[in-house]
Structure 1
Amino acid sequence: MSRGKPEVPEDLLRWIGEISGAEHIEVKQVSGGASRQAWFVDAGTGADRQELFLRYDPRDPEPGSAFHPLQVEADIMAELHRNGVTVPHVIAAHPVAQAVLMERVGGETWFRLIQDEGEQVRTAQDFIAKLAALHRIDASELRIDSLGPAGHVETHVRAEIDAMRRRVDRYGKPAPLLRFCIDWLERNIPAYDGPTVLVQGDTGPGNFMYADGAVTAIVDWELAHFGDPMDDIAWLSLRTVQDTFTDFPARLAEYEQLSGHRIDEERVWYYRLFAETRLASVSPGSIDIRASAPSGSPDAGNSLIYGMLHRRLLVESLAHVVGIPEVRVEFPDEEHVSENAPVYEAAASAMAGAAARSSDALATRYVKGAARLIKYLAEVDRIGAVVDAAETAELAAYLGTVPSSVSEGRAALAELASRGGVDERDYVAQLWRGIKRDDYLTRTASGALGRRTWPPLTHQSKLGEQDSWASPSLKTTVK
């Protein structure tokens, strides 16, 4: 089905003209999100030209969404700008449509594109300085009507947890892992009596702009909320997994000095689980699916590998907070060969050839994503049955009967854990073993992404295995 080329509606163009006073409006779409469109706007009057930026979401706001409507984002940025935070200057928010007009800020977005190591460090240090400045602001003095007044951190954490639970309830189907995480978060809110800050959420590389070693603007405030400063540190570590951010412990040491907030490792781990659970609550059906590749999406290949990454990060953080340092999983060796291997290899080669000949960047992305799906299916065909047999045997030991499938067995085990029929740590350990198997089957599709994990918070801290599937003889501390 054709989606059509995105356009800025005529009434929105007229609004831009009224706000800017320009006689001529030219717009050009740029990358900046799938549903929340980004447009460069050149607004001219005579020889003068204003360089503006439009964020536009053609959808109506979704009630109960984790993401703020654009008008709320505009409200947040306007108040932060008044308080000296490096955010784009908001010119106006449309009174009805989800559209915000801002001054255009120069710079690049993707941190990994910086080639010079010194420039990488300077840019990262400047971002840390700006994040620390944000967290030095007394949240009680911020006037953001759409968020309400800042209160005690625990009050805001409980409100976020309640919102997660409501989203899962609206989903209306079983979401056993997600409900387990929400329940655990509610029972284990950190005892923190420090100052409340405005948490950007999803903060870090990819959500700030930079040029010549300095941050020109911090963008994307759709997950912003009042809370614990360690909440943002957890988000920063999550963005670091997806991109890169120089020496993470060194940057955190600079943050401590500049912000006055001590890095509390256990609180950071709590909020790592909190962040991943909040993201999962946006689409509850994806967290319990072994391979999240939405049908009808041309970008399903990338959904597969990033969905796997987030499921793994969620379970790694859950295992850490309940006190499980590592689990053992055995994998089939590479001698297992499928008779269909030549067909999978031919399909991957054909897609590689198509990608090489394409001049359309988005089409190339989709073709490469399809190649990832082929790589995943090749591994499932090669060793999927062996991997599944090992897990169903483990699940049967808990359930007392052999489940008909891995998915059914995992759901049954989660239900048993919710009734107290299995110890919490035993449940999480078994869950982690299952995720390691899913991750192993996805490893060829994921490439380098499959070898990334939570960054250490200090130079002394250790995370265990960096490559959770890389060795068939992982260290065993939980059986």
Structure 2
Amino acid sequence: MSEQMRTSTRDLEELREQVSGWLRGRVGTDAAVSELSRPLSNGMSSETLFFTATWGGARTRCVARLAPAEEAVPVFPSYDLRAQFEIMRLAREKAGIPAPRALWFEPDPRPLGTPFFVMERADGEVPPDVMPYTFGGWLCDAAPEDQRRLQDAAVGILAALHETRFTPEELSVLGAGGLRAHVDRQRAYYEWAHGERRIPLLERAFHWLEAHWPADPGPDVLCWGDARIGNLMFQDFAPVAVLDWEMAAVGPRELDLSWMIFLHRFFQDLTVALELPGMPGFMRREDVCSKYRELSGYEPRDMDFYEMYAALRHGIIMARVWQRRIHFGEQPVPDDPDDLVLHRATIEQLLKG
């Protein structure tokens, strides 16, 4: 998820010197760091730095992901950078997923003031969140066959990841697996995220989940977590990088499928509300599930349940983001706490069936 986020006010030259000193300790005294910068829009999950590392005659374009400081009012209660680093490496090396090459994980907060990891930087086009890709731009304006090629390739990433078998030891960094454990963690996240005001709409959605629990959630697999096209880089409508693994989990395949479908619906609903056409034929549930079935042989099940769950999960995140904006004086406190959820109307529609 993306937002212009207050994650750091540290001087870039000071950071460059700190990263240089750290890198020399890793690869040798000839190491140097240049071209250090921040992206124009940092993600909500961590602070990002771009830089070029040079050592031993080699030159590597890098991205560092840093856990956010507490004063930035983080969107999530914890940031397990080691788990992100290990899962990204596994997805690339074992499943053949084009995740960026994981270079180093640094658990010691002393070099930069917080733990961080470094990966190789990839190049490509990303469907933007701000303004949403459904409003216009390279993907919205593309030919229907190119949009479908991109959609099918994104679904193919999920199928390839889910079809890869990992050992329990490899996935142990993610904690307990299964749908119940996943929902329990979301409930704990909600209790942390809602602050001083409970959000009745989200609590109704939790009750709905319990009343419509799947009879058989199906086999658990490694799920990407934040499985959406805004976390993919493309070249010629083909994915070249799979980004942002902080929400990775062990659970049913439908967690990823429903998230990919719902996140497009979220942007499409915003677009329609502004009386723009958007992309109504893109990421339709029947098309996504049909392609997934074709690629994996697995029939997605209980998708009404998982779409509600995706809407709820996204609702908790959106409520936390809105509270951040209130904290920084960017918007007033709403009279109705349900208005903290940007897609309130969508969840209300799902609750009505």
> TM-score, structure 1 length as denominator?
0.56
CA contact (8 A) 1:93 1:99 kept: yes
Give the unaligned 5+ runs of structure 1. 301-305, 321-479
Q: Distance in 2 between matches of 1:138 and 1:275?
A: 25
Equivalent residue of 1:116, what SS?
coil
Instruction: Give, in angstroms, the shift of residue 42 of structure 1.
Output: 0.6
Match of residue 25 from structure 2: 18
Structure 1, residues 395-438: CA drift from partner, whole Å, max 9, x if none? Answer: xxxxxxxxxxxxxxxxxxxxxxxxxxxxxxxxxxxxxxxxxxxx
Match of residue 116 from structure 1: 142
Distance 1:68 1:136, change over 3 A: farther
Distance 1:54 1:4, change over 3 A: closer
Q: Give the length in aligned residue pairs.
A: 307
1:87 aligns with 2:118: no
CA contact (8 A) 1:229 1:261 kept: no
Q: Which of 167, 178, 181 in structure 2 is aligned with 1:156?
A: 181
1:102 aligns with 2:129: no
CA contact (8 A) 2:20 2:31 kept: no
1:207 aligns with 2:238: no
Match of residue 418 from structure 1: none
Structure 1, residues 82-131: CA drift from partner, whole Å, max 9, x if none? Answer: 31222111111111323110011121111642343243332222221111
> TM-score, structure 2 length as denominator?
0.73
Distance 1:285 1:37, change over 3 A: closer
Q: Distance in 2 between matches of 1:161 and 1:37?
A: 23
Paired residue type of 2:305: Y
Paired residue type of 1:163: A
Structure 1, residues 238-294: CA drift from partner, whole Å, max 9, x if none? Answer: 221226583533333111111222133xx222222222323333575789x9xx962
CA contact (8 A) 1:78 1:89 kept: yes
Q: Distance in 1 between matches of 2:75 and 2:142?
A: 43
1:131 aligns with 2:171: no
Q: Distance in 2 between matches of 1:237 and 1:66?
A: 26
Instruction: Give, in angstroms, the shift of residue 12 of structure 1.
Output: 3.6
Structure with greater helix share of residues: 1
Match of residue 37 from structure 1: 47
Match of residue 278 from structure 1: 313
Distance 1:181 1:121, change over 3 A: closer
Match of residue 336 from structure 2: none
Distance 1:286 1:107, change over 3 A: closer
Give the unaligned 5+ runs of structure 2. 1-5, 109-113, 269-278, 333-338
1:317 aligns with 2:330: no
Instruction: Give, in angstroms, the shift of residue 141 of structure 1.
Output: 4.9
After TM superposition, the structure 1 = structure 2 runs for residues 282-297 of structure 1, keeping only pairs within 5 Å, are: 282=317, 294=326, 296-297=328-329
Larger RCO (alpha carbons 8 Å, 6+ apart): 2
CA contact (8 A) 1:139 1:196 kept: no
Instruction: Give, in angstroms, the shift of residue 210 of structure 1.
Output: 0.9
CA contact (8 A) 1:178 1:281 kept: yes
Q: Distance in 2 between matches of 1:77 and 1:286?
A: 25
Q: Distance in 2 between matches of 1:139 and 1:210?
A: 27
CA contact (8 A) 1:93 1:101 kept: yes
Q: Distance in 2 between matches of 1:317 and 1:20?
A: 53
Q: Distance in 2 between matches of 1:131 and 1:100?
A: 24
Distance 1:91 1:125, change over 3 A: same
